[in-house]
Structure 1
Amino acid sequence: MEDNYNDIHANILAHLPEKSLLRFRIVSKEWCYLISSAYFSRCLNRSSMFPSGIFLKMRHSSNQPKYHFLSLHGKPVRDSFRCLTFVNDSAGIKILQSCNGLLLCCSNNRIAETNRNYYIYNPTTDQYATIPKPGYRTPNTIFGVILAFDPLKSSHYKVVFVRSSRTFNHLYQLEIYSSQTRLWSFSSEVQEFNYSKGAYCSGFIHWMTNSGASLRFDVDRERFQEIPLPDDWNQHAKTRYFKESGGLLHLIFTNGRHSTRQFDVYEMEKDSSRWSVKYRVDLDALISEYPEMIHSNFGPSDWDYHAYRVLAVVRKENEGSFIVLHIPGKAISYNFKHQTSTLLHDFAPGCSHIEGCITIETDDSFPYFGSLAIV
């Protein structure tokens, strides 16, 4: 009977805003225990699998990176520009990755790797954990770091470091930190690849280069597998977007020999067997409304002739999926079904030319999910 009581309360509370839940913890000991539990965190994530905002790293913010919080609900946020100050790190803090409500962060400046700190931060609860160092060893170069966290499967997370190998026969080796054991484990040496940009999705870490080379890693089984490319991929294609949304992997690429006004959004099948076209995008109407999107210094077949960056794909079957674009000085949402756009934020009011506008790259975009996950 008590379990049913908690289930009912958990399902009701899971639909409330995160800020309200943080306040409701003081109602009683029972509510505090329930809201702070791993079980409730899973209930909350089932009801909020989609981002409500995006952290955008602003260019020209040197030692102390500044982030703009872009609300996807169209409501302006007070004090939206801010640095991350959850811990006193003299080097400043930058975001490396967003994963299901948690942020993977690290010291910002280019100091020796042995002095750099890595953090897991929950921006909803303002709690953080410092990842312990695995111990000094030589060589000590890091080629990539990925957070693997799926609150629907576990309240624990893993952080996968791609580092230089301890032997000289191979170049790379994986070191994996588990929040459950608070210990490091070491994989065997792995193949040479560009591990700098990756995406975690449904138990796998996926990597893809701009040229189309692709690879994935099963985090639990610690096995590598190749993943297929879309059927119409060719040597002229360039990756514009490669991230997870709604538990599925999405890919956008354009062909340098054709107009970038139209492109497809590909979605990986759940069994990872193939890519299929999920959405088609035509930016003609958007370009007519915002003519500054045309870069006069390039030709129609060039990569940046149409100036935009894909910040996020938000997959919402019931309410309407959309894409978030950064065009010169502005953030725009584009509804796939209705082919309509909405201005989310104007970073540079009155800007009418590309060179004078704020520019945000795809890699500077980090979705925000409300979460009470314990770090």
Structure 2
Amino acid sequence: MKTKIKVSVEAQSLSQIVSLSQIVSSIDDLLIQILLYLPIKSLIRFKSVSKHWNSLIDDPRFCLLRNPNPNPAVGIFFPCSFSGFNPWIEYVPFSGIKSSNPPFSKLGFNKRPSDIRIICSCNGLLLCSTTRDYNNLARRYYVYNPTSNKFSTLPKLDGEEDWISSQICGMNLAFDPAKSPHYKVVCIRSWRYMYQLEVYSSETGGPWRKCGEPFKAQVIFQTGVYWNGAIHWIINGFRNSLHFWDSRDSLYFNVDDEILRVMPLLPLPDASNWKSNYRFWESCDHLHYIIDIIRSSISFNVYEMRQDYSEWFIKYRVDLSPVVAAFPEMIRSNPINFYMDWRNRPIYAICSLVRGEKDEDSFLVLNIEGKAIRYNIVYQTFETIFEFVGAEVEGRERFLGRIGYQYIESLCGV
């Protein structure tokens, strides 16, 4: 009789436990549905309140649910310095309202924050490195999430004693939170006029491994762009009367199948036109190509690559005449170099291209004399969204990086 009572009590307790677990599960499901629509800043506050909510938000499955499509950038990071010394990073929100609480004030991965630079940004994560080491194999590399203020240190690369045979030509970050919570870093090293790819995966956390055979190329490995599951490198586009391209091939490396391929030919200027600084831009799952103008033209095309790599096509036609009219200081009247007659050319830098939900919302970020200008590509309207502190200081040459690094809010771990 006692045995039957004991079994009955145990069965009742088990039933209560199952029922309780179902209630907890249903509450979690409801909570997840709520959390999916909360702003990221609110989610960070939730994480600090409860360990249980913290584990829910940090779950990679939650990040995948929250990021079914590419998130738009909300701001841009600019590398700045005076005369090349004491560099710092300035955050520029696209809203035009200066943030009293920027994502970060310094990259404190080591005891010398000024020693850290941003190499690239990719869907909410930043790839950073130290800069002071002469041999770049001795540099430390970090993957950093500025939203959560967390970072991871990448393992050191194996090096040869002969520094000539172990130069790092480029480091690129590949991360798509809509596909996986894990990221890869692709390193390009030179060896006797050949290049070798090496890959690190956060999923395995293992050492760097060589990928494929050594190859020759004439591309700019320092400015690789991740899009469509691959890293894309543009041709080395400097051309003048003395130098011509030996190859017109841009390359891309698919990080999943780990195959290096050739891209369709770029729409290049003719030999009589001097242009350089060819560059790829990615935004909201679109790959673009812009020729940064050197000669005195203020009109140019923005090209886009089709998803199947079949061709480049003209997506936007840009005319900066209204901007030049509003900022006449853009025009420099004196030549910079005796051999390159750059009279009356516009002085500006294209720092970023940002796609909106509609074409009418797409814009360029321009750097003009210490000001960040947001220029709507379709309507040709513009506004000053940021003025950099110290740009007006006399007697001190201010350097503002030409390229900005997009900030996309993300809860993904590193």
TM-score range, shorter-chain basis?
Answer: 0.7 to 0.9
Shift of 1:93: 0.8
Counterparts of residues 1-375 of structure 1 (less than 5 Å): 9-10=31-32, 12-46=34-68, 49-60=71-82, 62=84, 64-78=86-100, 82-89=105-112, 92-138=115-161, 139-165=165-191, 171-183=194-206, 184-187=208-211, 188-194=213-219, 195-208=221-234, 209-211=236-238, 213-231=249-267, 233-235=269-271, 236=273, 237-253=275-291, 259-298=296-335, 302=342, 305-318=345-358, 320-347=361-388, 358-363=398-403, 365-375=404-414
Does the 8 A contact of 2:77 with 2:405 survive in 1? yes
Structure 2: distance between partners of 1:260 and 1:332: 18
- Which whole-Å CA distance do the structure 1 matches of 2:390 and 2:129 have between them? 33
Q: Which runs of 5+ in 2 are unaligned?
A: 1-21, 239-247
State the AA in 1 paired with 2:285. G
Q: Secondary structure at the match of 2:66?
A: helix
Q: Does the residue aligned with 1:164 lie in a helix, a strand or coil?
A: strand
Q: Is this contact kept in 2: 1:241–1:310, CA < 8 A?
A: no
1:41 counterpart SS class: helix
Contact between 1:50 and 1:245, CA under 8 Å: does it hold in 2? yes
Q: Which amino acid aligns with 2:215?
A: V
Deviation at 1:117?
A: 0.5
Contact 1:330/1:348 (CA < 8 Å) preserved in 2? no
User: Aligned equivalents of 1:210 and 1:303: distance in 2?
Assistant: 22
How far did residue 27 of structure 1 move? 4.3
For residues 302-334 of structure 1, give each alpha carbon's deviation from its aligned partner in whole angstroms, at most 9, with x where no partner exists: 498111111111111337111111111210001
The worse-fitting range, judged by mean Cα deviation, of 171-180 and 18-27 is 18-27
Quickly say closer, same or farther: Cα 1:110–1:366, change in 2 above 3 A.
Answer: same
> Residues 8 and 305 (structure 1 numbering): CA distance in 2 closer, same or farther, change over 3 Å?
farther
Distance apart, 1:82 and its partner CA: 3.9
CA spacing shift, 1:163–1:84, aligned 2, 3 Å: same
1:114, 1:254 → 2: CA distance?
A: 31
1:15-36: CA deviation from partner (whole Å, max 9, x where unpaired): 4332211111244444222211
CA 1:288–1:63: 2 relative to 1, 3 Å: closer
Looking at structure 2, the residues matched to 47 and 23 of structure 1 have their Cα atoms a distance apart, in angstroms, of: 24
Tell me by how many angstroms 1:351 deviates: 5.7
Contact 1:215/1:224 (CA < 8 Å) preserved in 2? yes
Summarize deviations over 1:13-72 as a string: whole Å, max 9, x none: 334332211111244444222211112222333466111111100033756530010011
SS of equivalent residue, structure 2 residue 332:
coil
Relative to structure 1, the CA distance from residue 10 to residue 72 in structure 2 (aligned partners, 3 Å threshold; closer, same or farther) is: farther
Larger mean Cα displacement after TM superposition, 13-22 or 200-209: 13-22
**Secondary structure of 1:59's aligned partner:** strand
The amino acid that maps onto 1:263 is: F
How far the C-alpha of 1:296 sits from its partner, in A, is 1.2
Whether the 8 Å CA contact 1:107–1:116 is kept in 2: the answer is yes
**C-alpha distance in structure 1 between counterparts of 2:289 and 2:27, whole Å:** 43
Bigger Rg over Cα: 2
Q: Distance in 2 between matches of 1:156 and 1:304?
A: 48
Q: Tell me the CA shift for residue 293 of structure 1.
A: 0.8
C-alpha distance in 2 between matches for 1:9 and 1:229: 50
Deviates more, 1:296-305 or 1:310-319: 296-305
- SS of the residue corresponding to residue 333 of structure 1 reads strand
User: 3-state SS of the aligned residue for 1:42?
Assistant: helix
Distance 1:63-1:282 versus aligned 2 partners, 3 A rule: closer
Letter in 2 for 1:172: Y
Q: Which has the higher helix share?
A: 2
Paired AA for residue 206 in structure 1: H
Instruction: Indicate the RMSD between aligned Cα atoms, in angstroms.
Output: 3.1
- 1:4, 1:357 → 2: CA distance? 61
Contact 1:100 1:150 in 2 (8 A): yes
CA contact (8 A) 1:86 1:126 kept: no
AA paired with 2:199?
A: I
Output the CA distance in 2 between the equivalents of 1:333 and 1:8.
Answer: 40
Moved more, 131-140 or 174-183: 131-140
d(CA) in 2 for partners of 1:206 and 1:140? Answer: 22
Q: Structure 1 vs Structure 2: percent identity of aligned residues?
A: 37
TM-score of the aligned structures, taking structure 1 as reference length: 0.87
